[in-house]
Structure 1
Amino acid sequence: MKAETTVIRAILAGTALVAAAGTAAAQEVNLYTSREPGLVEPLLQAFTESTGIAVNTVFLKDGLVERLASEGESSPADVLMAVDVGNLVDLVERDLTQPVESEVLSAAIPENLRDPGNEWFALSMRARVVYAANDVEIDSITYEDLADPEWKGRICIRSGQHPYNTALFSAFMAHHDAAETEAWLTGLKDNLARKAGGGDRDGAKDILGGICDIAIANSYYVGLMRSGRGGDEQKAWGEAIKVILPTFEDGGTHVNVSGAAVAKNAPNRDQAVQLLEFLVSDEAQKIYGEANYEYPVKPGAAIDPIIASIGELKVDPVPLTEIVTNRKQASELVDRVGFDN
C-alpha cells in the first residue's frame, strides 16, 4: 500500500471507481483531489443533484502527480483538483492535463487566475492578509511596509518555506528584482517577534498572548476562527484581531488559489468539463465560501459575511503563472537570509 492515505468514496450510492479508461459509465466522472473531503463533498453532491452525473472521488493527501504519472494512459482520472497554484502548474509541466476551451470558464474566471493555455482553472481564492491586534493603530499596510524597522520585534509568521509564504515571496519578486526581494526578506526577518514557525492561526493566538502585534496569514482562517468552528479558544483568537488586506505598492492583494484541470487521458472528458463549469456557477461559488470561507473567483459571486467584513478584495493583477516561475529563486532567498533560523 502506498505511503499516502487514499480514501475512495462514491458520492452517488452504487457507483464505483473504474479501474481503467474506457470502461466508465456514460454519466459519471472520476475526480482525484488533494482537498479535504469535508470541503469537496458539498460541491460534488450539489453537482450530482444538478446534473445526475455521479462523482467517484479519490482523496489523496499528497502524491497526486506521482499517482497520475504511475497510472499513465490507463488512468481513470477525469478531473484533477488541488490547492496552491504551484501544484496546478506542476500537473501541466508533467504533461498530465489537457486544454479546455469553454466560454463558461473563460467568462467566470479572470484571465490572471487561469492557465494561458486553458489547462488549469482557479476555482476559489485565499488572500495573504495581515492580522493586527485590535489596539494597534493601523488600517492599511503594503507588503513592502512589513520590512520597515517600525515593526521590529512585532511580527509573527509561519516558516518562510511554507508554500503560503513562498507564494507570497514569489509574488513580491514579480514586483521587485531579486536584490530588492532579498533585502525585503532580511528586513522582514529582522522584524520577527519570534522564530518563524507554527501555523497561520498561531499568529492570531500569539497576538492575543502579547507576543506580536501583527501576523501574516491567510484570510480563510479568520472565518474558521470567528465562526467558532474551531472551538471557543480559536474564536477568542479571531476576536482579538482586526484584519487588513495589504497590497503591493504598485498592485493589489496577493492571492493563492484552489483549482482544477482535466486529466490528459480523461475517459469522461465531457462530464469533466461539465464539473469544472458547475464549479464556477453561482451555486458552487457560494458553497466554496460556506465550506471553507474562501473567496469566489467569479466576480459578483456571494462572499461569506465574515470574509466580506474584512473589506473589498482587490486582487493583484500579476498572472499566477508569472508568480510561479519565481518559486525556486524565492525559496533559495529564504535560505540565504536564514529566514527560518
Structure 2
Amino acid sequence: MHPTFLRHAAALALAATGAAIGAPALAADVNIYSSRQPALIQPLLDAFTKETGLSTATIFIEKGLEERVKAEGANSPADVILTVDIGRLYAAKQAGILQPLADAVIERDIPATFRDKAGEWSGVTARARVVYASAERVGDEPITYESLADPRWKGRICIRSGQHQYNVALIAAFLAHHGEEKTKTWLTGLRDNLATAPEGGDRDQARNIASGQCDIAIGNTYYVGLMQTNEKEPQQKEWAKAIKVVMPAFETGGTHVNISGMGLAKNAPNRDNAVKLMEFLTTDEAQRIYAETNYEYPLKPGVALSPAVKAFGELKPDTLSLDDIAAQRSKASALIDEVRFDEGPQS
C-alpha cells in the first residue's frame, strides 16, 4: 500500500479519536497535536515528508488541547503543538506543555515580535483583525480602532462575541496601547455603536452588511478569502462582494495582527525530528503553502503574498509584542464582562 495513503489514513484515524483521553502509541517520525483542521495543514505536512522523508501523524483537538497534553504527562506522544491565536499559545505555555527552544533558523526567519521571549512558541503565519465595510455605503475614509467608538457609527457596527478569542486579543492590544481607563471608555462606546447584540462568527458579520443590518464589522482577513472561494456555499461569495477590507490602525501603532503558531512539546519523544518540522515551517516554500492555503500572511520577510491576500490592501502590522498583548488578555476579558459588551447597545 502506498506510504502517502497510509499517512493520510493514520491522520484521519487519529483525528477521529482526538477527543478520547489517553496517550496513543503513534508510529510517525513527528507527532502533531493541532487545533487547526487537518485539511488546513496537510499540504504542509506532505511537502515536509517529500523533502525530508519523515512521516507525520496529526491529532486534531479543537478544545482541551492543553488539558489533554498535560494529562498525558511524560507519556505524551506529542512532538509539536500547532494552534491559532496568541491566547492559545499563551495558554499552552501557562499549562507547562511546551519547552523552550533556541533555534537559529526560526530566530532568523520569524521576527521577534511574533516569537515568545522565552522561546516557547513562535508564529508561523499572521492574520489581521480588520474592518469589513459596505462597498456601497462606506466611503474611503481611513478608520482607526479608536474611531469605532465615535458616535458617527452609532447603530452601524456588527461584531461577534466580545469574549471570542479574536476580539479578546484585539481588546488586549488596545489595553496595551492605552491603559484600562481609556479602554473601558472605548469599549463602552463601541458597544453602544452596535446595530445589535454580538452574535455569530466573522462571516456572519459580512452577511449582515450584505443584508443592510449594519455598515461595518470587525473580522479577520482570511475569512474574506474563504468567502470569495466558497463553492459549497456560493451565497458567501455574494457576502464577500458586498464588503471591502479596510486596514484600521491604532493611533499609536499599526494594524492588529494575530497568528497561527507552533511550539515544541515539553516531552517530545522525537525532539530532533520535531525541530526539523518547525524549521521547515519557516522556509519560503512552507510559508507560501500555509499562507496561500489559509489566505494568511507569511511571517518570514520577503515571501510573496498570494494574489487574494494582496488584494486586501497594504498591511502595516502593529509593532506591539504579542507577549505584551497576551499579558493583557485576562484584564481584557474582565472589562468585556464589566461593560456587558455582549448584551449589545445600552444607550
> Normalising by structure 2, what TM-score?
0.91
Any residues of structure 2 matched to 1:125-274 within 5 Å, and which?
A: 125-135=126-136, 136-229=138-231, 231-274=233-276
Q: Aligned to 2:250, what secondary structure does the other structure show? A: coil
- Whichever residue aligns with residue 156 of structure 2, its letter is R
Distance in 1 between residues matched to 2:306 and 2:224, nearest whole Å? 11
1:207–1:214 CA contact under 8 A, matched in 2: yes
Using a 3 Å threshold, how does the CA distance of structure 1 residues 286 and 139 change in structure 2: closer, same or farther? farther
Counterpart of 1:277 in structure 2 is 279
Q: CA deviation at 1:321?
A: 0.9
Distance in 1 between residues matched to 2:87 and 2:70, nearest whole Å? 17
Any residues of structure 2 matched to 1:26-37 within 5 Å, and which?
A: 28-37=29-38
Using a 3 Å threshold, how does the CA distance of structure 1 residues 64 and 14 change in structure 2: closer, same or farther? closer
* Alignment gaps of 5+ in structure 1: 1-8
Q: Aligned to 2:273, what secondary structure does the other structure show? A: helix
Aligned length: 330
Q: 1:143-169 CA distances to partner (integer Å, 9 max, x unpaired)?
A: 001000010111010111111101100
- Whichever residue aligns with residue 35 of structure 1, its letter is R
Counterpart of 2:316 in structure 1 is 314
Q: Which range moves more in the overlay, 178-187 or 301-310? A: 301-310
Q: 1:89-113 CA distances to partner (integer Å, 9 max, x unpaired)?
A: 1121222111112111011111010
Alignment pair present for 1:61 and 2:62: yes
Q: Aligned to 1:48, what secondary structure does the other structure show? A: helix
Runs of 4 or more, structure 1, over 3 Å off, are 12-17
Counterpart of 2:17 in structure 1 is none
Distance in 2 between residues matched to 1:307 and 1:275, nearest whole Å? 25
RMSD: 2.0
Using a 3 Å threshold, how does the CA distance of structure 1 residues 257 and 14 change in structure 2: closer, same or farther? closer
Q: CA deviation at 1:30?
A: 0.9
Q: Aligned to 1:122, what secondary structure does the other structure show? A: strand
1:139–1:244 CA contact under 8 A, matched in 2: no
Using a 3 Å threshold, how does the CA distance of structure 1 residues 163 and 10 change in structure 2: closer, same or farther? farther
Using a 3 Å threshold, how does the CA distance of structure 1 residues 304 and 229 change in structure 2: closer, same or farther? farther
- Whichever residue aligns with residue 340 of structure 1, its letter is D
Using a 3 Å threshold, how does the CA distance of structure 1 residues 237 and 14 change in structure 2: closer, same or farther? closer
Counterpart of 1:340 in structure 2 is 342
Q: Aligned to 2:124, what secondary structure does the other structure show? A: strand
Distance in 2 between residues matched to 1:308 and 1:113, nearest whole Å? 21
Using a 3 Å threshold, how does the CA distance of structure 1 residues 37 and 13 change in structure 2: closer, same or farther? closer
Alignment pair present for 1:122 and 2:123: yes
- Whichever residue aligns with residue 49 of structure 2, its letter is T
Q: Aligned to 1:76, what secondary structure does the other structure show? A: coil
Q: 1:78-136 CA distances to partner (integer Å, 9 max, x unpaired)?
A: 10111111111112122211111211101111101010011101011111000111121
Distance in 1 between residues matched to 2:247 and 2:7, nearest whole Å? 37
1:11–1:45 CA contact under 8 A, matched in 2: no
Counterpart of 1:6 in structure 2 is none
> Normalising by structure 1, what TM-score?
0.92
